[in-house]
């Protein structure tokens, strides 16, 4: 005899199987066929197919036309046009110092004075000797006029007077050297002696430099030689703070360095902020070729993709849709803002300038911003 508990355990699996069958029938449709396209997410109310791809927001800009140049880039240290070390020209003790480091001194301005008592006495001694010989010469001249002295005595007297005058001049010159002066207008960069110090001929006293103008010397490959001209403009950027300077080519060496195959170019900078000093490093950009009426796009619009140089161009798709066309281009010169397009684009066309890095050929576009071409 079957117990009620046993009958209940047999009925439960049967009921579960029946419920599963009902649910399966509902998923396959009322007629028991295959699941609908809508159940697989490939249909929807429009009757099947993949959902439309989301449009990518981008900014575009018209291809422009303008001038662009190629540059030779180098790094150079700024130097003063004139630099000199002032040396002592007499022996003695430093008595006073008239200028300090950083001072701007005019040409001939006093730098220091050496004790000059000895040199003044030598001048006075030379003056007395000259006066004595001059008096003797005048007497000899009068006697020669009356034929009371020989020609030999007269010439000897004249020679002694001339020697005395020369010695007096030398004594005066040495006295003048006790006041040390600047050889040109410039700024003192270093003082090398102190008051009370003994100096001799050739002792270094000061370093002085003329900061106006500053110079930058760069070495340019000889193949660029024919492209460079004197007074040509040069752009410089200080490494220390990014200050932009304008210079011009002052000198072009007439010879090529056989070791490096380069030509030395001297750039002159006349106008610069007060904080710029010799020793600053600067990036130097020299124009080697200029092209007018070049086809230009913003530099950021050009990408490298799979070894090719490309831009993306918005084109009309089906209906009112706009899609991205991947366009292979050939580029020319590039500067800070623009890239020259040699082939692949024409002025008047439009390129994507923002959002292009996420695009591929055929991507739908949503144009949010459109700007005019910005060229120089």
Number of domains in the chain: 3
Least confident of 56-60, 108-112, 271-275: 271-275
Structure-token pair, residue 201: 């001929």
Is the sign of the CA dihedral 104, 107, 110, 114 positive or negative? positive
**Residue 212, φ and ψ in degrees, nearest 5:** -125, 105
Tell me, yes or no, whether 284 and 190 share the same domain.
Answer: no
For residue 306, the domain's CATH number is 2.40.420.20
DSSP-based three-state secondary structure for 90: coil
Domain that holds residue 278: 71-80+209-290
Rounded to whole angstroms, how far apart are CA atoms 355 and 57? 7
Tell me, yes or no, whether 124 and 197 share the same domain.
Answer: yes
Residue 126 lies in a domain: yes
Rounded to whole angstroms, how far apart are CA atoms 233 and 288? 11
pLDDT value for 53 = 75
The answer to whether residue 31 scores a pLDDT higher than 50 is no
pLDDT value for 8 = 42
Q: Quick one: DSSP state of residue 48? A: S
Residue that is last in its domain, among 138, 173, 206: 206
Tell me, yes or no, whether 316 and 264 share the same domain.
Answer: no
Tell me, yes or no, whether 235 and 312 share the same domain.
Answer: no
The answer to whether residue 6 scores a pLDDT higher than 50 is no
pLDDT tens digits along 290-336: 888 999 999 999 999 889 999 999 998 666 688 999 999 999 998 88
For residue 285, the domain's CATH number is 2.40.30.170
Residue 108 lies in a domain: yes
Residue 29 lies in a domain: no
Q: Note the residue count of the chain.
A: 376
Reported as type and span, the H/E element at residue 129 is helix 117-145
pLDDT value for 287 = 86
The answer to whether residue 46 scores a pLDDT higher than 60 is no
pLDDT tens digits along 334-373: 888 899 999 999 888 999 999 888 888 989 988 886 665 5
Give the orientation angle of helix 151-176 with respect to helix 117-145, to 10 degrees.
Answer: 160
Closest CA to 236 of 227, 249, 245, 224: 245
Report the percentage of the chain scoring pLDDT > 70: 83
pLDDT tens digits along 118-176: 999 999 999 999 999 999 999 988 998 888 888 888 899 999 999 999 999 999 999 99
Residue 7 lies in a domain: no
Place of tokens 């002159």: 268
The answer to whether residue 376 scores a pLDDT higher than 80 is no
pLDDT tens digits along 198-219: 999 999 999 999 988 999 999 9
Residue 112 lies in a domain: yes
Residue that is last in its domain, among 150, 175, 206: 206
Residue 17 lies in a domain: no
């Amino acid at each position: 005899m079957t117990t009620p508990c046993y009958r209940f355990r047999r009925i439960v699996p049967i009921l579960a199987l029946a419920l599963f069958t009902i649910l399966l029938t509902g998923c396959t449709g009322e007629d028991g066929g295959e699941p609908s396209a809508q159940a697989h997410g490939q249909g929807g109310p429009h009757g099947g197919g993949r959902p439309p791809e989301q449009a990518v927001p981008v900014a575009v800009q018209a291809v422009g036309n303008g001038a662009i140049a190629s540059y030779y880039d180098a790094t150079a240290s700024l130097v003063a046009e004139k630099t000199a070390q002032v040396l002592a020209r007499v022996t003695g003790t430093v008595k006073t110092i008239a200028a300090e480091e950083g001072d701007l001194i005019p040409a001939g301005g006093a730098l220091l004075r050496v004790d000059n008592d000895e040199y003044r006495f030598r001048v006075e001694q030379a003056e007395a000797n000259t006066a004595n010989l001059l008096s003797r010469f005048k007497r000899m001249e009068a006697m020669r006029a009356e034929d009371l002295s020989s020609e030999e005595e007269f010439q000897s007297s004249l020679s002694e007077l001339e020697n005395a005058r020369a010695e007096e001049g030398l004594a005066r010159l040495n006295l003048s050297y006790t006041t040390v002066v600047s050889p040109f207008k410039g700024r003192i960069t270093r003082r090398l002696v102190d008051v009370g110090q003994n100096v001799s001929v050739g002792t270094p006293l000061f370093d002085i430099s003329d900061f106006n103008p500053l110079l930058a010397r760069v070495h340019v490959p000889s193949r660029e030689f024919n492209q460079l001209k004197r007074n040509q403009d040069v752009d410089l950027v200080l490494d220390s703070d990014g200050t932009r300077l304008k210079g011009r080519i002052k000198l072009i060496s007439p010879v090529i360095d056989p070791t490096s195959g380069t030509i030395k170019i001297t750039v002159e900078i006349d106008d610069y902020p007060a904080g710029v000093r010799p020793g600053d490093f600067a990036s130097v950009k020299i124009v080697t070729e200029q092209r007018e009426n070049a086809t230009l796009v913003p530099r950021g619009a050009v990408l490298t993709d799979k070894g090719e140089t490309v831009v993306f161009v918005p084109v009309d798709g089906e209906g009112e849709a706009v899609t991205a066309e991947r366009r292979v281009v050939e580029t020319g010169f590039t500067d800070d803002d623009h890239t020259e397009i040699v082939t692949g684009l024409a002025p008047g066309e439009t390129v994507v300038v923002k959002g292009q890095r996420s695009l591929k050929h055929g991507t739908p576009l949503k144009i949010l911003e459109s700007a005019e071409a910005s060229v120089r």
